[in-house]
Structure 1
Amino acid sequence: MTLDFSAIVPYLHMLLTGAKVTIQASFLSVLFGALLGIFVGALRVVPLAPVRSIAATYIYIIRGTPLLIQLFLIYFGLPSLGLNLPAFTAGIIGLSINSSGYVGEIVRGGIEAVPKGQWEASKVLGLSYLKTMRFIILPQAIRNMLPAIGNEFVTLIKESSLLSTLAITELTMVGQQVRSVTYASFETFIVVGIIYLVLTSVTSFSLQYVEKKWKVS
């Protein structure tokens, strides 16, 4: 079989436009997912058992159900309750919530990895729980969590391809449109795959750089 990418060249600008939407969706989902995940992860270690149970149940449900079903519930299910969301907004919310479940568990593990002596020293200094968490525990925990969080960010970029099921014109959806016009299925999705590889590689290298800068000898 001979590959011919000449039919794809006139549509490269469309694929790059789709890649921009993918980058926007991934960035917003990473941002909101990380913030929500840190909050949920912090709740997993609070002294109050009912709060820990609620956070644990949230993570259990999010991690135990497919992302695609979560997207469908938000985009197709919420209108039955009177809440209609634009496709892009619904996609960002779905990706963010899904990511927060995994980030929350990563945060919990990172916090519990901080030596207990740090908590005891904070009590001796008279710091409140919130100040201890904000200024002492989380800064140390985040260093430990960077590799795992980096993997989650890369995974989220790839999972953003599911936004095509909501008719969002991100990279995968544009790839399907180009394929339907050119009939060059193999060549089209090779190019789409290369673009995803570039996005995930740039993200991985950037996070590795940050990780080295934060590494404590």
Structure 2
Amino acid sequence: MSIDWSVVQMAIPLLAEGTVMTLKIAAIAGILGLAGGVALGLISLGGLAPARWMVRAYVDFIRGTPLLIQIFIVFFGLPAMGLRLGEFWAGVIALSLNCAGYVAEVVRGTVGAVEKGQTEAAKSIGMTHGKILVYVLLPQSIRPMMPALTNDVITLLKNTSLLSVISVYELTRSGQAIIASHFAPVEIFTLLAIYYYAIISVLSWISRVIERRLPAW
């Protein structure tokens, strides 16, 4: 098998443009998903019963349906409700909603596993349950939940490739466009794999650095 190096040389900068879009989508969706997931996780531990049931139903729906279907629901469903968004923001919303569901479970499991004696000690000095969750239990859970949160963010980044189905010009979509015009699938898919591997390797390294610098409670 011969490699068409001229196609590879031409594709590298074009895929770099798609990489920028992928990183932009992943960054925005990751921030929204992490914030929403933390909030949902805390609600599932300390909210009113109806709120806890709604969070549970939401998490079950997210975990029980394919992300591709969720993307289609957002992309086609929001315009049907009168909210018209472009492909970029529809993709960001779909990914952030999906990420929030998984992060909520990480938060619920990790915060809920903190030693119960600390909750009792905080109650003895008059702290409310909400303040105990936010100021006592959550800070102690950040370091233990870092590996799981990193895994969720990495999954989110790889899932940006699914946005190619709604014509978001991210990394995978840029590769598909090159293949359609030059028909060099082996070269382009190999480059795509290298790009994704490089991005995720850097993300994993950053996560390990952050985890080491977090205080051990």
TM-score range with shorter-chain normalisation?
over 0.9
2:73 is matched with 73
- TM-score normalized by structure 2? 0.96
**1:47 CA drift (Å):** 5.6
Tell whether 2:107 aligns with 1:107: yes
1:54 is matched with 54
* Residue 6 to residue 93, structure 1, CA distance change in 2 (3 Å): same
Query: What do residues 47-77 of structure 1 show as CA deviations (whole Å, max 9, x unaligned)?
Result: 6322221111110011111111111111112
Q: Which amino acid in 2 is paired with 1:104?
A: A
CA distance in 1, matches of 2:21, 2:47: 41
Q: Which region of structure 1 is more displaced relative to structure 2, 168-177 or 124-133?
A: 124-133
Query: What do residues 81-103 of structure 1 show as CA deviations (whole Å, max 9, x unaligned)?
Result: 22211110110000000011100
8 Å contact kept, 2:164–2:173: yes
1:187 is matched with 187
CA distance in 2, matches of 1:45, 1:130: 9
CA distance in 1, matches of 2:18, 2:152: 22
Q: Which region of structure 1 is more displaced relative to structure 2, 124-133 or 188-197?
A: 124-133
CA distance in 2, matches of 1:80, 1:211: 43
8 Å contact kept, 1:63–1:102: yes
CA distance in 2, matches of 1:142, 1:91: 28
Q: Which amino acid in 2 is paired with 1:17?
A: E
1:120 is matched with 120
CA distance in 2, matches of 1:155, 1:9: 29
In the TM superposition, 1:144-163 aligns within 5 A as: 144-163=144-163
Runs (4+) of structure 1 exceeding 3 A deviation are none
Secondary structure in 2 aligned to 1:139? Answer: helix
CA distance in 2, matches of 1:160, 1:215: 32
Q: Which region of structure 1 is more displaced relative to structure 2, 138-147 or 96-105?
A: 138-147
In the TM superposition, 1:131-150 aligns within 5 A as: 131-150=131-150
**1:43 CA drift (Å):** 1.1
Q: Which amino acid in 2 is paired with 1:155?
A: T
1:44 is matched with 44
RMSD value, Cα = 1.3
Q: Which amino acid in 2 is paired with 1:213?
A: R
Secondary structure in 1 aligned to 2:5? Answer: coil
CA distance in 1, matches of 2:125, 2:150: 33
CA distance in 2, matches of 1:15, 1:47: 45
**1:215 CA drift (Å):** 5.6
Secondary structure in 1 aligned to 2:6? Answer: coil
Q: State the number of aligned residues.
A: 217
Q: Which region of structure 1 is more displaced relative to structure 2, 8-17 or 84-93?
A: 8-17
Percent identity over the alignment is 39
Q: Which amino acid in 2 is paired with 1:134?
A: V
**1:206 CA drift (Å):** 0.6
Unaligned runs of 5+ in 2: none
8 Å contact kept, 1:8–1:182: no
Secondary structure in 2 aligned to 1:8? Answer: helix
CA distance in 2, matches of 1:134, 1:111: 10
CA distance in 2, matches of 1:5, 1:152: 35
8 Å contact kept, 1:71–1:91: yes
1:20 is matched with 20
Q: Which amino acid in 1 is paired with 2:147?
A: P
